Amino acid sequence: MRGLIPDRALIHGALRENVAILIEDARIAGVVPADALPAHVDRQRLFGTLVPGFIDTQVNGGGGVLFNDSPTVEGIAAIGAAHRRFGTTGFLPTLISDDLDVIRRAVTAVDTAIEAGVPGVLGIHIEGPFLNIERKGIHSGEKIRPLDAEGMAVLAGLKRGRTLVTLAPERVSTAQIEALVTAGIVVAAGHSNASHAQAKAAVAAGMRGVTHLFNAMSPLGSREPGMVGASLDSDELVCGLIVDGHHVSPDTLRLALRCKPASGFMLVTDAMPSVGSNASSFLLQGRRITVRDGVCRSDDGTLAGSHLDMATAVRNAVSMLGLDLATAVQMASANPAALMGLAESHGRIATGLAADLVLLDDAGQASATWIGGRQRSELPALVA
């Protein structure tokens, strides 16, 4: 058994000093006063703030790798390693709209990666192709298609871990949403032109997430609240926020945070291959994406995911949105864990939960991570 003794730790929503986190095997064995550690426990002094590891449910790529291009175990491992240096200890490799055979390969790769113990892989996020072409954003219109029986079978193909599916609720039936939920899939709305009524019907059918709130969805209107209005009006929905100062105005996000409790929001990156890489451009389904001033755009100016990492997202939530660190970390750990049905195993520093942790320095940078109790402080260098 080991005892981690940080300057402070985030325990039950509050920063506490004079605590030690006991780790045995891959789990947290207890939280005790630092001066009450048994003599036989190996002590490790940590300088900084220890918080739950970040869980990112929308990771398109990292370390120069795009999941759509490399739906393999090796690709997943490279993406995970790139994001781990920024405090992400759990993630969903995310596939944007593509052909069904590519989705099948991606599902198989995630299954194999989890079985092989690739660090941090919690499942898969399949974002499209069952979207509204009117709100496609950077997704290829050629890949968008109706949801049929074959598509339903592909979405339900993961044997290990969790599956998150982003779809346009107005392009599927409530019966299909109910069937996906019954199969254990977490359904989220995104790239949608849904009316408020259509979105609420999807919530009644079991939809529980919203992918990148405000982006690529019907806006809040005076007489038609749209997908945005339904997202903010539904306590059942957890809304993903890309807090990079580019996707959504911080003023707009602050207004959103006044509409419902912090538990209704989670931080996501929507990260592209440039995260954890020195590359200034990459290809996305044949289109050149350029990274300039921290923003990923296609040649026509369309936003194409982000150059955001989770540690920066947490810092931005504090500096741009005025949140305290405890709330920002909750939105990066406990809230995504709850959405994915992992609240009893991930997302908090508590006895019995996975020992997935990140140590933040005084500037909010990740200086060390632990996944399953194994320290991974040897943070990898940026990929050229």
8-24 tens-digit pLDDT: 999 999 999 999 999 99
Whether residue 113 has pLDDT greater than 70: yes
Kindly list the catalytic residues: 270
Whether residue 246 has pLDDT greater than 50: yes
Q: Which fold has domain 2-51+352-375?
A: Urease, subunit C; domain 1 (2.30.40)
Distance in angstroms (rounded) separating the CA atoms of residues 282 and 314? 26
The reported pLDDT for the residue numbered 245 is: 97
Category of 123 on φ-ψ map: left (φ > 0), alpha (ψ -120 to 50) or beta: left
Q: What is the mean pLDDT of residues 365-377?
A: 91
Whether residue 75 has pLDDT greater than 60: yes
Pairing of strands 27-33, 19-24: antiparallel
147-204 pLDDT, tens per residue? 999 999 999 999 999 999 999 999 999 999 999 999 999 999 999 999 999 999 999 9
215 assigned ligand-binding residue = yes
Closest CA to 189 of 200, 355, 179: 200
125 assigned ligand-binding residue = no
321 assigned ligand-binding residue = no
139 assigned ligand-binding residue = no
30 assigned ligand-binding residue = no
Q: What angle do CA 39, 41, 47 make, to 5 degrees?
A: 110
The reported pLDDT for the residue numbered 24 is: 96
Is 54-339 in the same CATH topology as 2-51+352-375? no
* The pair of three-digit structure tokens given for residue 308, joined into one six-digit string: 């955001």
Count of other CB atoms within 10 angstroms of residue 261: 9
Helix spans in 60-99 (H): 73-84
Q: What are phi and psi of 241, to 5 degrees?
A: -120, 130
Domain 54-339 in CATH 3.20.20.140? The answer is: yes
Whether residue 377 has pLDDT greater than 80: no
Whether residue 98 has pLDDT greater than 50: yes
132 assigned ligand-binding residue = no
374 assigned ligand-binding residue = no
Distance in angstroms (rounded) separating the CA atoms of residues 134 and 192? 8
206 assigned ligand-binding residue = no
79 assigned ligand-binding residue = no
Domain regions of the chain by residue span: 2-51+352-375, 54-339
Whether residue 208 has pLDDT greater than 70: yes
The reported pLDDT for the residue numbered 384 is: 46
349-359 pLDDT, tens per residue? 999 999 999 99
Confidence of residue 36 (pLDDT cuts 50, 70, 90): confident
Using an 8 Å Cβ cutoff, are 114 and 121 in contact? yes
315-341 pLDDT, tens per residue? 999 999 999 999 999 999 999 999 999
Average pLDDT, the chain: 96
Whether residue 360 has pLDDT greater than 80: yes
Whether residue 290 has pLDDT greater than 50: yes
Helices and strands, number each (H, E), in the chain: 10, 23
Whether residue 54 has pLDDT greater than 70: yes
The reported pLDDT for the residue numbered 279 is: 87
